[in-house]
């Protein structure tokens, strides 16, 4: 979110001041992309096998998405972390805004 407020980092040109759903990735801090520009968030060969919670290299990661307001944050977890936080909600998480 800091990237959106300060305009630092990489933001696709389609994201304007109007609120809309944007995509972010745990392995690309500061990068925000609209649904059409999700390729900006493609993980590199290293990120693709790095757990976003404990930063361990793992052969296979469990992908997950967390909704933070209008930001959909993608992340990948190793088996241990996936078990620890159980990232399979049956419905989208929606937190009330204070
Ligand atoms: Zn875009
Ligand atoms: Zn992990």
Q: Is residue 64 part of a domain?
A: yes
Whole-number pLDDT of residue 6: 55
Residue count of the chain, please give it.
98
CA of 29 to the centre of ligand 2 (A): 18
Whole-number pLDDT of residue 89: 54
pTM: 0.74
Residue 51 lies in domain: 2-85
Q: Is residue 45 part of a domain?
A: yes
- Token pair in block for residue 14: 């389609």
Q: Which ligand is nearest to the CA of 40?
A: 1
DSSP codes joined into one string, 18-83: S---EEEETTSTTEEB-GGGGGGG---TTGGGB-TTT--B-SS-EEEEEEETTEEEEEEE-HHHHH
Whole-number pLDDT of residue 95: 57
Q: What is the number of structural domains in the chain? A: 1
Q: Is residue 97 part of a domain?
A: no
Q: Is residue 73 part of a domain?
A: yes
Taking a 5 Å cut-off on Cβ, the residues next to ion ligand 1 are 12, 14, 34, 36-37
> For 18, phi and psi rounded to 5 degrees?
-70, 135
CA of 70 to the centre of ligand 1 (A): 15
CA of 20 to the centre of ligand 2 (A): 30
CA of 11 to the centre of ligand 1 (A): 8
Query: What average pLDDT values come out for the chain (98 residues) when binned by 10 residues?
Result: 60 90 94 95 91 94 94 95 73 56
Q: Is residue 44 part of a domain?
A: yes
């Amino acid at each position: 979110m800091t990237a959106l407020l300060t305009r630092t980092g990489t933001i696709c040109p389609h994201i304007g001041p109007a609120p809309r759903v944007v995509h972010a990735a745990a392995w690309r801090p500061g990068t925000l992309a609209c649904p059409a520009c999700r390729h900006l968030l493609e993980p590199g060969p290293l990120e693709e096998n790095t757990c976003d919670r404990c930063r361990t290299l793992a052969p296979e990661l469990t992908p997950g998405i967390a909704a933070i307001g209008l930001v959909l944050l993608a992340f990948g977890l190793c088996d241990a972390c996936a078990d620890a936080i159980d990232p399979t909600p049956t419905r989208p998480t929606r937190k009330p805004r204070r």
